[in-house]
Structure 1
Amino acid sequence: MSILIKTVAEHWEYVAPLVRKPKSEEDYDVLVRAVNEILEITGEDESHPLMSLLDIIGDWIEEWDRTHHPMAEASGEEVLGYMMREHGLTQSDLPGVGTQSVVSEILSGKRKLNLRQIRWLAERFNVPIEVFI
């Protein structure tokens, strides 16, 4: 038996909960807590040895979330309303979309965003245009 495998075997009971995909919400919660603890240790140090473990656990959490906690799709108009609230903007703060009445009609669902407006919003909020499509 190699020294690496021997060392892993000696510490497996402590490591095992972190190196398996979640099979339950409890497993998922353990991994989320582990990510938070690892982030406290690593900070923004991309070269920290625990970053590879963080990547693995993060992928498993993301996969679990997609399968068990799917996010509802939001329309571009709903995203616009959210972004306005988050940035403290009023309807008249978006001249690239149109007048206050045009923005009002978009937010109320009476009018859809067009491609020109979507491009302007994506640039204004520095997000991909897909956010508003």
Structure 2
Amino acid sequence: MDIRPIKTEQDYSTAIGRIEVLWGAKKDSPEGDELDILVTLVESYEMKHYPIAPPDPIDAIKFRMEQMGMTSADMVKYLGSQSRVSEILNRKRRLTLGMIKSLYKGLKIPAEILLA
């Protein structure tokens, strides 16, 4: 096991290749331990070099609506009147703190996404 920090794209590619070889290794075996270490190193490298921006709040609401088979009419109880729902979903009005709390409690959309 020759594990070193991932500093370059070449190191990253090499680590990914080795992970593919080790994938499915038995837990608590030397190969399984190597896999765990490499995955941790790759995750750290990716977080630093390929950060993922949080989703847009309105996109998150629309995604949750799609997941739950909801229509804009179903959103009235979380956002207010039908016209208010339309304004929010069309980005003509910002979410209020009350709406954010309601969406968090009712639809389990993380508050940190809604506050972005």
TM-score, with structure 1 as normaliser: 0.61
- Cα offset for 1:118? 0.9
Query: Are the counterparts in 2 of residues 21 and 60 from structure 1 also a CA contact under 8 Å?
Result: yes
- Pairwise CA RMSD: 2.8
Identity value in percent? 26
Residue 27 of structure 1 aligns with an amino acid whose one-letter code is T
Q: 1:91/1:49 Cα in 2 relative to 1: closer, same or farther (>3 Å)?
A: same
* Structure ranking higher on relative contact order (CA contacts 8 Å, 6+ apart): 2
TM-score, with structure 2 as normaliser: 0.68
Match of 2:103 among 94, 118, 121: 121
CA distance, structure 1, for counterparts of residue 18 and residue 105 of structure 2:
36
Q: Which runs of 5+ in 1 are unaligned?
A: 1-14, 43-47
- Cα offset for 1:34? 5.8
Query: Are the counterparts in 2 of residues 28 and 61 from structure 1 also a CA contact under 8 Å?
Result: yes
Aligned residues: 109
Match of 1:49 among 28, 32, 43: 28
1:87 corresponds in structure 2 to: 68
CA distance, structure 1, for counterparts of residue 18 and residue 109 of structure 2:
29
Query: Are the counterparts in 2 of residues 28 and 64 from structure 1 also a CA contact under 8 Å?
Result: no
Query: Are the counterparts in 1 of residues 5 and 41 from structure 2 also a CA contact under 8 Å?
Result: yes
Q: Which runs of 5+ in 2 are unaligned?
A: none
